[in-house]
Amino acid sequence: MPSKKFFFDFYACETKTSLENAIPLTPNDVFRKLHEDYVENPLNTVKSIGRHLVEIRDIKPTNYGYRGIFGKHRKSNLPHAAVAGGVERELPLKPQENLLEKSHFVFYEEYSLLIIQRNRFCANWETLGRYLSPNNYVTTLNPIIEPASLAWLADGHVQVKSAQINVARPRNPELLREVEHDLNNSIILALNGTKSATLNLTFRGDARSDDPAERYLDSSIKRAFRELQERLEVRKLDLVTEHDETRIEHPIDLVTDRLTHYDDVELNGRYPNSLDMWTKLEEAKEHKEPELIAFFGTADNRLA
């Protein structure tokens, strides 16, 4: 049977509200409600998110949480069908039909962990976060970073010499509540105040100086960058770090160092076999269990 290589991305989910006395919700509660809505009527899961229609195409409870399929409808810029070197034609869609892009997923209650089949044409992390946000709540999807990069960055002797950032202007104001760091508030104000779609920034210490206060960026910038990734769509976050005792320099890319996995999935025609896709997503979690434990900690540590 033919197969194709697919990539899987890992996200830690978090659901919050800024309303006082609101009933706390977990990401598992959000998926439970989606399943109830889907069972009652799949149309109940259709939501308009910005310019997109997003829905659940399938969802099932499992012994670990839920598995299913996100669907996004494409209503504009539809491609043409053609044979190479031949005549092209429009796709014959009926008035109410759209092109459908799908991403399979598995959700684990244990970590509030979402593993998604990567599909650049389907919903991105920001759109899915908005889709998974009930009224008065915000669900964020935080990319899981490779533990080796996090461990190096967390070392108290590792300093940031320079940083290059590209960040997109947020479309969901709820993501901007309770931003702690002045740097991130300044970035948000700059994006909103100028109506810029993206902002490019470069920060550098004085590499010629031996004075740590001048050679390195302030130590609080590490926490600021972590919050920045959680709140905004960071498209580039390249750091040059250095151990302040050994002077060992180490570059870190906090975008491409995200935890990923890939595997071959059986195809039904041109599309992945859903059962095999879910199996491979579950196996991806097993393959990355050591990294997930390093990131989230053990059950005892999380409860401590």
- The predicted-structure confidence for 82-117, as pLDDT tens digits, reads as follows 888 888 888 787 878 878 889 999 999 999 999 999
Same domain, 151 and 136: no
- The predicted-structure confidence for 215-243, as pLDDT tens digits, reads as follows 999 988 888 887 787 667 788 888 999 98
How far is it between the farthest Cα atoms of the chain?
69
Query: Which residues, 6 or more positions from 215, have their beta carbon under 8 angstroms from its beta carbon?
Result: 159, 161, 205, 206, 207, 209
Same domain, 120 and 163: no
Strand runs labelled E in the chain: 3-16, 47-49, 52-61, 65-74, 80-82, 88-90, 99-108, 113-117, 138-143, 158-168, 198-204, 234-243, 249-253, 260-268, 271-272
- The predicted-structure confidence for 120-133, as pLDDT tens digits, reads as follows 788 777 789 889 99
Which candidate, 56, 30, 55, places its Cα nearest to that of 112?
Answer: 30
> What pLDDT, on a 0 to 100 scale, did the predictor assign at position 303?
42
Same domain, 17 and 84: yes
Same domain, 163 and 185: yes
Is the entire prediction scored with pTM above 0.85? no
Same domain, 267 and 249: no
- Look at residue 182 and tell me whether its pLDDT is greater than 50: yes
C-alpha to C-alpha distance for 21 and 8, rounded to whole angstroms: 37
Distances (CA, A) of 248 to 78, 152, 185: 51, 11, 32
**Core vs surface per residue 158-176: b (16+ CB within 10 A) or e:** bbbbbbebebebbebebbe
> Do 62 and 17 meet the contact criterion of CB atoms below 8 Å apart?
no
Domain of residue 18 covers 3-144+259-303
Same domain, 206 and 294: no
Distances (CA, A) of 182 to 166, 220, 247: 17, 10, 29
Same domain, 232 and 276: no
**Helix locations, the chain, DSSP H:** 27-40, 125-131, 147-154, 182-194, 212-215, 221-231, 274-287, 289-296, 299-303
> What pLDDT, on a 0 to 100 scale, did the predictor assign at position 176?
60
Listed residues 253, 273, 291: the one ending a domain = 253
Place of tokens 């390249």: 238
pLDDT (mean) for 43-65: 93
The total of structural domains in the chain comes to 2
Same domain, 268 and 248: no
Same domain, 138 and 269: yes
Q: Which two tokens stand for residue 262?
A: 């890939």
- Look at residue 74 and tell me whether its pLDDT is greater than 60: yes
